């Protein structure tokens, strides 16, 4: 039994718009440079956000465009087809969404303003760890209150775009690294700490 679906007219128009954006802003030589430098320049990233693709799925009250997950996947798939890989452009709205969902108003405003200006989040995600990968229940980074301050202790690895960010959004277990501890918190940490 085969399952399938057809794109809506809106989804078709969105994909056509992405193809037009790509033809006006990116070419094979630029994509090759992105891979060689491991970086998409801010002007390309900002253009992607300004064109609306980087705002898909983000809350409307923050300037985002409501979009279901299937539409977001279609855009990611087309971006992969056009560039040969997903690239950070497609992941940036998901990264921003984590802070929008869990951050306070000041953090959210800072992140959205920066994102709209540069096309990339001002932070990277610190989830994966040596020996645990992305299995958060097996991670050992812990946040503990010590003398009225929060002490983060642990290691993160595979932090995509870590060399370009001002902050790391770190996920840590609260107080106890035991696998059975499912109490976790997020910490927006400046990379110069």
Say what the pLDDT of residue 86 is: 63
pLDDT-based confidence at residue 165 (cuts at 50, 70, 90): confident
CA 99/CA 96 separation, integer angstroms: 6
Cβ-contact 58, 93 below 8 angstroms: yes
Average pLDDT over residues 84-93: 77
Instruction: Tell me the whole-structure pTM to 2 decimals.
Output: 0.84
**108-145 pLDDT tens trace:** 999 999 999 999 899 999 989 998 888 889 999 999 99
For 168, phi and psi rounded to 5 degrees?
-120, 130
Cα torsion 78, 83, 88, 94 to 10°: value is: 0
Whether residue 149 is predicted with pLDDT greater than 80 in this model: the reply is: yes
Alpha-carbon dihedral sign for residues 27, 70, 16, 48: negative
């Amino acid at each position: 039994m085969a399952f399938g679906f057809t794109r809506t007219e809106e989804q078709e128009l969105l994909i056509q718009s992405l193809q037009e954006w790509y033809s006006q802003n990116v070419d094979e030589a630029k994509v090759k440079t992105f891979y060689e430098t491991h970086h998409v320049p801010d002007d390309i990233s900002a253009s992607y956000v300004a064109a609306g693709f980087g705002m898909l799925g983000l809350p409307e009250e923050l300037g985002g465009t409501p979009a279901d997950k299937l539409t977001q996947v279609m855009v990611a798939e087309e971006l992969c087809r056009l560039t040969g890989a997903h690239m950070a452009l497609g992941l940036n709205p998901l990264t921003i969404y984590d802070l929008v969902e869990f951050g306070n108003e000041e953090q959210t405003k800072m992140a959205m303003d920066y994102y709209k200006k540069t096309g990339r989040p001002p932070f990277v995600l610190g989830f994966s760890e040596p020996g645990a990968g992305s299995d958060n229940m097996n991670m050992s980074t812990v946040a503990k209150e010590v003398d009225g301050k929060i002490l983060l202790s642990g290691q993160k690895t595979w932090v995509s775009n870590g060399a370009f960010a001002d902050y790391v959004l770190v996920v840590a277990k609260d107080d106890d690294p035991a696998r059975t501890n499912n109490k976790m918190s997020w910490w927006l940490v400046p990379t110069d700490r």
